[in-house]
Amino acid sequence: MNTNPDSDAGRRVRVVIVDDHTIFRSGLKADLDERMDVVGEAGTVEQAIAVIAEKRPEVVLLDVHLPGGLGGGGREVIAGSNALLGTTSFLALSVSDAAEDVVSVIRAGARGYVTKTISGKEISDAVIRVADGDAVFSPRLAGFVLDAFGTAPADIADDELDKLSARELEVMRLIARGYSYKEVAKELFISIKTVETHVSAVLRKLQLSSRHELTKWAAERRLL
Amino acid sequence: MIAGVCSGLADHLGWPVKYVRLGMILACFAGGAGVAFYAWLWTMVPTADENAKRNARRPASSIAPAVSLPPVPVPGVGPATAAYDAGGSATVPGDRSAGGTAAAGPTAGPGDGGTASPAGAPYGFGAASAEDRWGGTALASWFSFRRIQYGKEILLGAALLLVAAILIARQFGVDVPLGTLIPAAAILGGAAIAWMQLDETRRAGLVDKTKADQAGGWVRLAAGLALVVAGVLVMVSGSGSWEQTWLALLASVAVLGGVALVLLPWGLKFWKDLETERAGRVRETERAEIAAHLHDSVLQTLALIQRRAGSEQDVVRLARAQERELRAWLFSDAAKESGLLADRIKSVAAEVEDSHGQAVEVVTVGDTAMTDRHEALVQAAREAMLNAARHGGGTVSVYMESTAGSTEIFIKDRGPGFDPDAVPEDRLGVKESIIGRMKRHGGSAVITSSSAGTEVRLALPSATVEAGEQRTSDVRNGESKQ
């Protein structure tokens, strides 16, 4: 994830950071590079919804676990900001690797998921990527996707939401193996833009699919 | 032969099965007494399985270790117990059950008073109280009887003997006032059944609440109640006249309903208090456990980090190891501690992480049971991880994918890379531990390295599809390498 897709140098991304730990918020703020403006911060679900509605940022860095609201955490913030989903993108941040946390925020509408141990450079790149409308997949999220959708490619006859295409599977596998988008592109002889398209398609499937196996997978992990 | 009662009885008494069966059959001719006895044993005595389960389910109690021990069967404890013990025959002598409670009911010591009376405090009185939480109520109270007196057994034996004597006396033409005896017996029996049921639900509530148990319990309560009421009525009215009996029945049902109505709120409140107390206790235990765990792990690590604040690598390593430990504790089932491949890979990665202070990120898809061949795969992966942590620098990515056909593991680092062909012959790490080991177990290992990092790809086809799959997997690796 150390690639920076053609962002013009003068561009500034307006960011809101939502996390209940003040120390983490200030650390994250310091980590984000000069391409980002932190225009607001929030520590609870209610604050987050209010701040996002007021500031209308391009990207919200959203902790999965948040106090307040009905206990839904990050998921609830996304649901509460539903009206802005067209203009505001959410990037989920968590210390948790648990599938239920990751997949529930993604299905709520987040454009990506990264763990909090991510480096400053990586998080900045991820923010830019999300601001550009692309999806950000960590290796672990790719692993969950492969686990949920299975590793067999779709037949052409299948409903398009139900399975990953052979190419999407390849991309997911490489990301799970720790490849950056650039490395994936190089490995598969395709452009970074194409990789991003595939990843976005996978994200869409993950968000929309009601496939039987996915439901079962989610039920096994108490996601539904 | 029907329900294994005879063999259980024989086993318990130490007599040959033959005699027991013979005796049972003879008893059948004696006015059907054998049939009744058989049925009684069948329903009342726990089977060996049930008994074993009950004993296994009860955790060892530090509070009352002696009481928690399963009772040792002692054949021929004494003539008095033998009569009752016949009831416990199929399994362990006198493991509560049986009508023993019944006969003992009225004269029971304080322990039984707690279980039988609805007014009893939730955790009983006397000796039985401490063990209640461990689901050992029954056994414990039984033990307390053993200690205090054999009242239960003696009473039951006496009652049985009495019945036998009456039956024999009738056979010889002696006039026995059956008119009073039968209602009296009905009352006793009904009360016994009802009390037994109270004991049963209490235990069920403490050990595990299942619907079936409760349904059975209610049926038993109803049966006991009906018997008692009928018995009392017949005794009081003194006549067999149906009209009178029906009228009395109606009246008594009305009275019972009234009493139930009065007692209901009180009973509900009592039950709620009990539930609250139980929930509180569970919460308390959980809190204590969490506090203990945090103290042993996180606080210790924080102390260590403060002392080693100078060395960045130590701090990172400690923090990382602690993070992993906490994560495992929070998110994974203790019961899932299995012999599966994904868990093995994760533990090996953790070990590498600890020894080299490099983060190793493991992503797994699918899982499979460990075999010797998979152990070889794990060892090869471990070697690759060690190399990556030693020479790579930065995070090591490990990806394991297991499907029906094969298992693949990818280990990637972002180090300066090396030329696999230029590795000297005497360096055994790559050649023997990775490539050679995989080949010997029917798998393959491909190493690609460039200035952007090194990736080791290990593939192990399943044993069943080994022959056919081998070639295709090699081809695929070859393709994607270019």
pLDDT digits (tens, 9 = 90+) for B127-143: 334 444 444 444 444 44
Residues 342-361 on B with a CB inside 8 Å of A are 359, 361
Rounded to whole angstroms, the Cα distance separating B176 from B169 reads 8
Q: Which among B417, B343, B348, B415 has a CA at the least distance from the CA of B385? A: B348
**pLDDT above 60: residue B395:** yes
Of A96, A97, A178, the CB nearest to B399: A178
β-strands A136-137, B396-402 pairing: unpaired
Residue B423 pLDDT:
65
Best A65, A118, A147, A177 member to test B by mutation, with max B CBs in 10 Å, is: A177
| Percent share of chain B, pLDDT over 90 | 2
Which region among A122-136, B71-85, B313-327, B348-362 has the lowest average model confidence (pLDDT)? B71-85
- Please, what sign has the CA dihedral across residues B312, B315, B320, B321? positive
Query: Which span out of A43-57, A147-161, A200-214 was modeled with the highest average pLDDT?
Result: A43-57
What pTM was estimated for this model as a whole?
Answer: 0.53
Rounded to whole angstroms, the Cα distance separating B201 from B207 reads 10
Rounded to whole angstroms, the Cα distance separating B95 from B194 reads 19
Which region among A49-53, A69-73, B76-80, B164-168 has the lowest average model confidence (pLDDT)? B76-80
Pairs across A and B, CB distance < 8 A: 45
Residue A189 pLDDT:
92
pLDDT tens sequence across A63-87? 888 887 787 788 888 888 877 777 8
Mean pLDDT, chain B, rounded, equals 68
Rounded to whole angstroms, the Cα distance separating A109 from A80 reads 11
Rounded to whole angstroms, the Cα distance separating B170 from B208 reads 47
Question: What is the Cβ-side half-sphere exposure of residue B24, based on CA atoms within 13 angstroms?
Answer: 23
Inter-chain contact A97–B327, Cβ cutoff 8 Å? Answer: yes
CB B429 within 8 A of CB B437: no
Which region among B6-15, B54-63, B94-103, B172-181 has the lowest average model confidence (pLDDT)? B94-103
Contact residues for B140 (Cβ-Cβ < 8 A; gap 6+): B64, B67, B111, B127, B128, B130, B131, B132
pLDDT tens sequence across A192-207? 899 989 998 888 888 8
Which region among A14-18, B305-309, B358-362 has the lowest average model confidence (pLDDT)? B305-309
Residue B204 pLDDT:
54
Q: Which among A191, A166, A187 has a CA at the least distance from the CA of A178? A: A187
Residue B214 pLDDT:
58
**What is the complex's ipTM, to 2 decimals?**
0.79
Q: Which residue has the tokens 């990301």?
A: A175
Of A139, A151, A187, the CB nearest to B397: A139
Q: In chain B, whose CA is at the least distance from the CA of A175?
A: B399
Cross-strand bridge partners of residue A14:
A37
| Percent share of chain A, pLDDT over 70 | 83
**pLDDT above 70: residue B385:** yes
**pLDDT above 50: residue B75:** no
Indicate the pLDDT class of residue B215, thresholds 50, 70 and 90.
low
Residue B110 pLDDT:
40
Residues 28-87 on B with a CB inside 8 Å of A are none
Inter-chain contact A140–B452, Cβ cutoff 8 Å? Answer: no
Rounded to whole angstroms, the Cα distance separating A132 from A126 reads 10
B297 or A90, higher pLDDT: A90
Rounded to whole angstroms, the Cα distance separating B257 from A34 reads 79
CB B413 within 8 A of CB B388: yes
Q: In chain B, whose CA is at the least distance from the CA of A142?
A: B363
Residue A2 pLDDT:
43
CB B419 within 8 A of CB B383: no
**pLDDT above 60: residue B191:** yes
In Å, how far is B380's CA from the nearest CA of chain A?
17
Residue B440 pLDDT:
85
Q: Please, is A171 exposed, middle or buried when counting C-beta atoms within 10 Å of its C-beta (0-12, 13-18, 19+)? A: buried
Inter-chain contact A98–B331, Cβ cutoff 8 Å? Answer: yes
Rounded to whole angstroms, the Cα distance separating B45 from B4 reads 11
Q: In chain B, whose CA is at the least distance from the CA of A101?
A: B331
B419 or B321, higher pLDDT: B321
CB atoms within 10 A of CB A216: 12
Q: Which amino acid is at A41?
A: E
CB B46 within 8 A of CB B8: no
In Å, how far is A22's CA from the nearest CA of chain B?
20
Q: Looking at beta carbons, which residues of chain B come within 8 Å of A177?
A: 363, 397, 399, 410, 412, 455
| B281-307: average pLDDT | 82
Rounded to whole angstroms, the Cα distance separating A105 from A61 reads 12
Rounded to whole angstroms, the Cα distance separating B261 from B246 reads 22
Residue B86 pLDDT:
40
Q: Looking at beta carbons, which residues of chain A come within 8 Å of B366?
A: 147, 151
| B84-107: average pLDDT | 39
Question: What is the Cβ-side half-sphere exposure of residue B468, based on CA atoms within 13 angstroms?
Answer: 3
Which uninterrupted H or E stretch holds B401?
strand B396-402
| A175-203: average pLDDT | 89
| B360-366: average pLDDT | 86
Which region among B187-201, B335-349, B421-435 has the lowest average model confidence (pLDDT)? B187-201
- Please, what sign has the CA dihedral across residues B52, B91, B218, B276? negative
pLDDT tens sequence across A112-124? 888 877 778 888 8
Residue B392 pLDDT:
74
Residue B410 pLDDT:
92
Indicate the pLDDT class of residue B71, thresholds 50, 70 and 90.
very low
Q: Looking at beta carbons, which residues of chain A come within 8 Å of B397?
A: 139, 177-178
Q: Which residue has the tokens 């998080």?
A: A123
**pLDDT above 70: residue A224:** no
Query: Which span out of A148-157, B173-182, B303-312 was modeled with the highest average pLDDT?
Result: B303-312
Q: In chain B, whose CA is at the least distance from the CA of A182?
A: B452
Residue B178 pLDDT:
67
Residue A185 pLDDT:
92
CB atoms within 10 A of CB B182: 13
**pLDDT above 60: residue B207:** no
Q: Looking at beta carbons, which residues of chain B come within 8 Å of A187?
A: 480
Indicate the pLDDT class of residue B205, thresholds 50, 70 and 90.
low
CB B144 within 8 A of CB B111: yes
Inter-chain contact A143–B397, Cβ cutoff 8 Å? Answer: no
| B83-87: average pLDDT | 40
| Percent share of chain B, pLDDT over 70 | 57
Residue B390 pLDDT:
81
Indicate the pLDDT class of residue B120, thresholds 50, 70 and 90.
very low
Rounded to whole angstroms, the Cα distance separating A16 from B230 reads 77
**pLDDT above 50: residue A216:** yes
pLDDT tens sequence across B445-476? 888 888 878 888 999 888 765 444 444 444 44
Of A151, A179, A187, the CB nearest to B401: A151
